[in-house]
Structure 1
C-alpha cells in the first residue's frame, strides 16, 4: 500500500516538476532549493532555510515537515551535515521513508491496528507486522504542510488532519514550529486541537549521523540515556505491556556507552527481537524540558547532541533496517546502522495500555509537546 501511494505521488510530481526553476544557488549543505519547489495534489512544496548568529544552518521541507540537513561545526571548526536525507522532493517520493519527518497522528506502533476510545472501536492500517506504525501508510510524513517562514530562524508548519484519515477519529488541527536558537539548538514545538475524542502522539524521525559521514556506522558513538527502565517488545516489535529495569542488561545506557559494544548480543532476547536497539526507554526526566534526556557523541568529530523533551519516553532506533538500498544526499548510499534516531514520545501502544501515560485528546483541550536537539562540541 505504501509503495502504491508514493507511486501515485511520484506521477503527480513528475508532471509538476516540468515547471521547476533552473538550478540556482546552493545551501551551505549543498542543497538546490529549486529541486524542492513543486506542487503535490494542489499544494506547493519548498525548502526552507533556517540560520542563526553562530553560523548553523537547518534546511526543512514542508513535505512531511522533514529536516533535510543540519550543518554544525566539529571539533576542528569544520561544518558537518549530521542528518540523513535526500537532494530533492522527487527523491523523497521515489524512496518511501521517514527520514527527518514529522510523525503522526500516532508515532510508533498501535497493536493489531486497532484501539477503543469511549466505547468505540477504531480500525487502522496494518502496515508493520500486523500493527499500525507511525500513523499508517499515509501518515504525516507523506503530507504537504502549509508553511510560514516567520523569521530567519523560525518555521511554522500547519496541517488539518481530517476525521477518518488513516482511520483516526476527529478533525485534528496540527501545528509544528521549528526554532533554531543561537546556541545551536533546534527546538520543536507541537500543538494540536480536535473536534472529536482522538489519540495523538507526535514526534520527529531524524536520522542522525554524528560523524557527518554516512559511510561511517554508529558503532563507536557514545550514547547516554537517562532512563532506569524500558518497555520490552515481542518479535513483531510490539510492546508487551511490561516496564523492566535496565540494570545488568545491554539496555543500560545510564553512563556513556559505545552503541556497538553490545548491540549484537544474541543471548539477550530483546536485542534479537529488535534486531538490535529499537525500543522505548522510560525517561527519568519527568517531562522537565530543562533536564537532558539523552546524549550522543562522536569521539571522531567531537560533535555532541543533547536531547531535551517534555515527553515521558524516547525511542532509540539504531538503524537496524538500513540495508544499503537508499541513495541519499550527494549520491551516498545509506548502509546498515549508519545513523540513529532518538524519537521523543508517549509510550508505544498507549491507547491499548490504559496504565501508561495517556495519548487521548478531547475537544476543548490542547495537545502540546516540546523537544530540543542541541548541538555542541567536545574537544
Structure 2
C-alpha cells in the first residue's frame, strides 16, 4: 500500500531530525553567523552561513544550491588558506558556476537516455535537450534556493521540497542536509530524505578541492589513494555500461598513493573518453552503515591531507577536465585546477540491475553520511 505524506509532514519530519554522527561530537560551541549574499530573480534572499570551529578553520555555505563556497584549513606552518574552488559573488554562481560546492540531485551523474523502468512503467526525465539526464536535470537541486537553519554548534541544516514530477522524477521529495565543522577539522555532511511516491535518489556533494591553497594552481602534484579495486567503466558517450572493471594495470589504479598528474594524460581508452579522471570507483566493504574510509588526498608542499569517509558505495573522481574560466579573486581556473571526490551511488543505476539500488519508497528514509577529515603532515 502506498503511503501518502503531506508536504507539511515531509518538511517537519526532516526539520525534527537530530544532529547525528560527527555533528554531535563537537566539544565546544564555536558559532555560526549569517549574512545576505544575494537575491534570486524572484526577489528571494540568498543567505550565506559561516561556520567557525574555534581553531581558525571555517566553512561557508549558501542557501543557493546548498553550496559550500569556502573551506579554510591550516597548512603545516599554521597558515590558513581556502582549499576549495569558488566564485566572488552570487550572480557568478547563478550564471557561471560549474557546480562549485553544490549539493547535486535528485540524481548525481547520468541516467541513460533520460529514462528508466519503475514498478512496471517507464519514467521519462527532462534532459534539457541532451541525450542523457545529468545531475538531476536542467534545474536540479544545485540551482534551487534551499531553506537554511542554524543548529547548535558549528552546524546548519538545509532543506528543500522537490515537487512530484520535478524534472520528471516521481514523488514529492523532502530532503535535508546538515553541514557541520568539528573542532578536529572534520567537514561532515548528513543527508536524509522522504518521498510520497516510489522514486530514485542519488545526491552528492560536488566540491572542488585544491589542498595547496593556491587558487588557480593544478592538482597534478596531489597524492591520491582510493580504497577501490574496481571502477564503473563507460562507453564512448561516457555512459556507464554496467561493467565493473579492475583498476589493476590501468591509469585508474590508486590503490597505493600516486600523483594525480602521473597518468592523467594517458592514452588509455577510458582516459581519452573522460579527458582525464571522471570515473566512479567502487569502494571496498559494505555500505549503508557507518562511514568507512574511501579516499585520501594529500599535498606534500603544504602538508594538508584530507580523508573521505562515507556510507556510500562509490566515489566519483573528477579532475575539473573542462573547467576554463575566471574564478575567485581573478584566478584563472584551467583543466585540473581542482579535484572532486563525490560520495554517491553509481551512475545509471536505475537501468543497471547489477548495481546497488537507488530506489526510495514511501515510508522509507534515505540516509547518507560523509566526512572530509583534514589534518597536516610534517
Q: Under a length normalisation based on structure 2, what TM-score does the superposition of the two structures give? A: 0.88
Per the alignment, residue 230 of structure 1 pairs with 231
Per the alignment, residue 340 of structure 2 pairs with 341
Per the alignment, residue 203 of structure 1 pairs with 204
SS at match of 1:241: strand
Alignment of 1:42-57 (within 5 A): 42-57=43-58
Give the Cα separation in 2 of the matches to 1:272 and 1:216.
23
Alignment of 1:253-332 (within 5 A): 253-266=254-267, 268-287=268-287, 289-323=290-324, 325=325, 327-332=326-331
Q: Under a length normalisation based on structure 1, what TM-score does the superposition of the two structures give? A: 0.88
Q: CA deviation at 1:37?
A: 3.7
Q: CA deviation at 1:126?
A: 2.4
CA contact (8 A) 1:226 1:285 kept: no
SS at match of 2:50: strand
SS at match of 1:265: coil
Q: Please identify runs of 4+ aligned residues in structure 1 that moved more than 4 A.
A: 32-35
Q: CA deviation at 1:125?
A: 2.4
CA contact (8 A) 1:113 1:125 kept: yes
Q: CA deviation at 1:44?
A: 2.1
CA separation of 1:93/1:368 partners in 2, compared to 1, >3 Å: closer, same or farther?
same
Alignment of 1:107-126 (within 5 A): 107-126=108-127
Name which of structure 1's ranges 286-295 and 163-172 shifts more when overlaid on structure 2.
286-295
Give the Cα separation in 1 of the matches to 2:42 and 2:113.
31
Q: Number of aligned pairs?
A: 345
Q: CA deviation at 1:129?
A: 5.5
Give the Cα separation in 2 of the matches to 1:137 and 1:334.
24
Give the Cα separation in 2 of the matches to 1:94 and 1:356.
35
* 1:303-352 deviations in Å (ceiling 9; x for gaps): 101000000000000111112x2x22212121121000001001110000
Q: CA deviation at 1:66?
A: 0.3
Q: CA deviation at 1:116?
A: 1.2
Mind listing any 5+ residue stretches in structure 2 that lack a counterpart?
1-32
Q: CA deviation at 1:235?
A: 1.9
* 1:55-105 deviations in Å (ceiling 9; x for gaps): 210000010000000000011111010001112111111214210000000
CA contact (8 A) 1:35 1:88 kept: no
Name which of structure 1's ranges 121-130 and 206-215 shifts more when overlaid on structure 2.
121-130
CA separation of 1:34/1:175 partners in 2, compared to 1, >3 Å: closer, same or farther?
closer
Per the alignment, residue 169 of structure 2 pairs with 168
Give the Cα separation in 1 of the matches to 2:173 and 2:42.
20
What is the aligned-residue RMSD (CA, Å)? 1.6
Alignment of 1:1-379 (within 5 A): 36-127=37-128, 130-266=131-267, 268-287=268-287, 289-323=290-324, 325=325, 327-379=326-378
Give the Cα separation in 2 of the matches to 1:141 and 1:310.
22
CA contact (8 A) 1:51 1:152 kept: no
CA contact (8 A) 2:310 2:371 kept: yes
Give the Cα separation in 2 of the matches to 1:51 and 1:231.
38
CA contact (8 A) 1:169 1:196 kept: yes
Q: CA deviation at 1:42?
A: 5.0
Give the Cα separation in 2 of the matches to 1:231 and 1:122.
23
Mind listing any 5+ residue stretches in structure 1 that lack a counterpart?
1-31
Per the alignment, residue 28 of structure 1 pairs with none
Give the Cα separation in 1 of the matches to 2:171 and 2:180.
28
SS at match of 2:321: coil
CA separation of 1:77/1:128 partners in 2, compared to 1, >3 Å: closer, same or farther?
farther
